[in-house]
Homo-oligomer: A and B are copies of this chain.
Amino acid sequence: MVNIDNIIDLFKKSKVPENIINRGKIGLDRFLNPIKVLLEQKCVPEEPWNDEQIKFFFKILSQMDIDKDTRIAHVGEREARIVSNMQLEISGGFCHGIGRSGFLTAPQPKAPGSSIMYEIANYLAKDAMKKFGLPNIKAAIIVPVATGMSLTLTLSALKPKIKDNIVLEKNKILIPQLDHNSILKSIKFLDLIPKIIEGKIFGDAVRITIEDIEKEYDQNCFGIISFTSFFPPRESDDLKEISKFAKKKDLVHIIINAYGVQSPFWMKLIRSAIDAGRVDAIIQSTDKNFLTPIGGSLIASPIKQNIVKISKTYPGRASASPIINFIISILRLGSRGYYTLINEQKENYKLLKDELNIFANQINERILEVSNPIAIALSLSNFNRNKLRDLGGALYNLGVTGPRVFNPEEEQFGTCTKKVYHTPYIVMNAAIGAKKEEIIKAVKRLKKAYIQIMKK
């Protein structure tokens, strides 16, 4: 094997003095060392890598895939041939994708590098979840589909299956009301029946009580879905009690932790739920938690076999891009970088709350009392109800993206209750990756839009 050492030795036969080459060798070794450490320790590095290190590592890996070897005679129908080098970029060099007809994590004989790359992604996923709040999980996988399809995949893997061609009656799933289309689509994809438990209003907060959930349960229920991250007035579910209940009734329990990794508060809820009862899988978005382009999810579980089942349920191969994007994020941040992001999120949340409070006082409104570490809702009870819709539009035009304006008298979808909520409101987020300046700008523009529309 040609090695860096051989190359350095050959450099020493050049006219460049050995002490200069040795200086260069030190730099090169520092550059390469994190690769070794990663492979040895199989965990998220503390210090961030730089882009060049990631590219170099990807190059070594992707160069092992057989589509790169020009001496090979490719006489199959799937040989990862491409038309343009742009496609090498889009796939990070991993043209063979991931998975086999066997299952998602099966090594591909034609793609040694992709196979190793995917294994790395998965142990980084596991370690990230352990480090950032869930030491009690046992396995994790990065799947090349976003949270909606991940839920479908997880349900398909963990739900009871037809046996001896006898159709199942156990096809109902309990869902504490969460007004999000994707969740319902994920369930309908498999032709399962959602049993939605309505939210109730407690002060400002909308919650679904464990008592109501228990009431809704019947013999045909096979599982339950619970939620951490969502926006006010909906609060996160009582994961611990749901977990206990799932254990008691032998229900598959899937936690949707869409953008919850960023919040130690939510992660702690999950941690307790795992310890207290039954949790089968926890699904989180790679883009919302790890700042990747959209398209991947991290599924973790305290039960190793569940992750294997999920991996074996996915039919065929899939794009490597979402996997690569996760690796880039996690190596580029390192655990130090991620902790920094978490801290910034906390500061930004406080800033958003303070700014909104000041504004609330000015306009005689208040911040709703709803527990949420990311999102904040401001009442809009004095605002002209006919113009609430315009407020959202005005914010979009002023360059504020993300806020949601609700008029519960007009549309209840979003409040997570069938009761008419007592006030219109606007929700804003201080999510991971947002910048301080954005928070300040957003509130400033909210004021502007508010005044504009009030004056009309």
Q: Which of B74, B96, B317 contacts A402 (CB 8 A)?
A: B74
Chain B residue nearest to A36 (CB atoms) is: B2
Is there a chain B Cβ closer than 8 Å to A203's Cβ? Answer: no
Provide the bound-state CA to CA distance between A54 and B89, in Å.
14
Chain B residue nearest to A97 (CB atoms) is: B294
Establish whether residues B293 and A80, one from each chain, have CB atoms under 8 Å apart when the complex forms: yes
Instruction: Please name all residues of chain B whose beta carbon is closer than 8 Å to the beta carbon of A87 when the two chains form the complex.
Output: 292-293, 325, 328-329
Establish whether residues B101 and A316, one from each chain, have CB atoms under 8 Å apart when the complex forms: no
Instruction: Please name all residues of chain B whose beta carbon is closer than 8 Å to the beta carbon of A318 when the two chains form the complex.
Output: 145-146, 149, 294-295
Provide the bound-state CA to CA distance between A15 and B42, in Å.
13
Known: A20-B115, A112-B21, A293-B82. A324 touches B90 (CB 8 A): yes
Provide the bound-state CA to CA distance between A352 and B59, in Å.
33
Known: A3-B5, A69-B26, A167-B168. A182 touches B291 (CB 8 A): no
Contact pattern, A 38-77, Cβ under 8 Å of B = 1, otherwise 0: 0110000000001110111001100111101111111111
Instruction: Please name all residues of chain B whose beta carbon is closer than 8 Å to the beta carbon of A52 when the two chains form the complex.
Output: 59, 63, 68
Provide the bound-state CA to CA distance between A94 and B292, in Å.
11
Establish whether residues B293 and A69, one from each chain, have CB atoms under 8 Å apart when the complex forms: no
Is there a chain B Cβ closer than 8 Å to A347's Cβ? Answer: no
Centre residue among A1, A181, A433 by max chain B CB count within 10 A: A1
Interface segment, one of A102-110, A274-282, A416-424: A102-110
Establish whether residues A180 and B101, one from each chain, have CB atoms under 8 Å apart when the complex forms: yes
Instruction: Please name all residues of chain B whose beta carbon is closer than 8 Å to the beta carbon of A165 when the two chains form the complex.
Output: 193
Smallest distance from the beta carbon of A407 to chain B beta carbons, Å?
Answer: 19
Is there a chain B Cβ closer than 8 Å to A156's Cβ? Answer: yes
Is there a chain B Cβ closer than 8 Å to A161's Cβ? Answer: yes
Provide the bound-state CA to CA distance between A227 and B397, in Å.
50
Interface segment, one of A27-35, A124-132, A204-212, A381-389: A27-35
Q: Classify chain A's interface size.
A: 35 or more
Instruction: Please name all residues of chain B whose beta carbon is closer than 8 Å to the beta carbon of A190 when the two chains form the complex.
Output: 156, 190-191
Establish whether residues A403 and B3, one from each chain, have CB atoms under 8 Å apart when the complex forms: no
Smallest distance from the beta carbon of A101 to chain B beta carbons, Å?
Answer: 4
Establish whether residues A322 and B324, one from each chain, have CB atoms under 8 Å apart when the complex forms: no
Interface segment, one of A233-241, A243-251, A360-368, A437-445: A437-445
Q: How many subunits of this chain does the assembly comprise?
A: 4
Interface segment, one of A6-14, A133-141, A264-272, A298-306: A6-14
Establish whether residues A402 and B321, one from each chain, have CB atoms under 8 Å apart when the complex forms: no
Chain B residue nearest to A89 (CB atoms) is: B89
Q: Which of B68, B321, B333 contacts A31 (CB 8 A)?
A: B68
Q: Which of B30, B81, B109 contacts A396 (CB 8 A)?
A: B109
Establish whether residues B333 and A320, one from each chain, have CB atoms under 8 Å apart when the complex forms: no
Provide the bound-state CA to CA distance between A231 and B75, in Å.
12
Is there a chain B Cβ closer than 8 Å to A229's Cβ? Answer: yes
Is there a chain B Cβ closer than 8 Å to A455's Cβ? Answer: no
Instruction: Please name all residues of chain B whose beta carbon is closer than 8 Å to the beta carbon of A162 when the two chains form the complex.
Output: 171, 191, 193
Provide the bound-state CA to CA distance between A28 and B32, in Å.
17
Contact pattern, A 389-413, Cβ under 8 Å of B = 1, otherwise 0: 0000000110111110000000000
Known: A31-B63, A320-B293, A399-B73. A109 touches B23 (CB 8 A): yes
Chain B residue nearest to A109 (CB atoms) is: B20
State the 10 A-B residue pairs at the shortest beta-carbon distance, nearest first: A76-B402, A148-B316, A295-B319, A24-B64, A24-B112, A97-B294, A148-B315, A321-B321, A10-B39, A185-B315
Q: Identify 20 residue pairs between A and B in the complex whose beta-carbon atoms are under 8 Å apart, listed by A's number.
A: A1-B4, A3-B4, A20-B108, A20-B112, A25-B112, A27-B68, A28-B63, A52-B59, A73-B437, A73-B441, A78-B285, A81-B433, A84-B328, A89-B89, A95-B293, A146-B316, A156-B189, A185-B316, A295-B317, A321-B322
- With A1-B32, A26-B69, A185-B315 known, 5 other A-B pairs at CB within 8 A are A3-B4, A75-B402, A76-B429, A295-B318, A295-B321
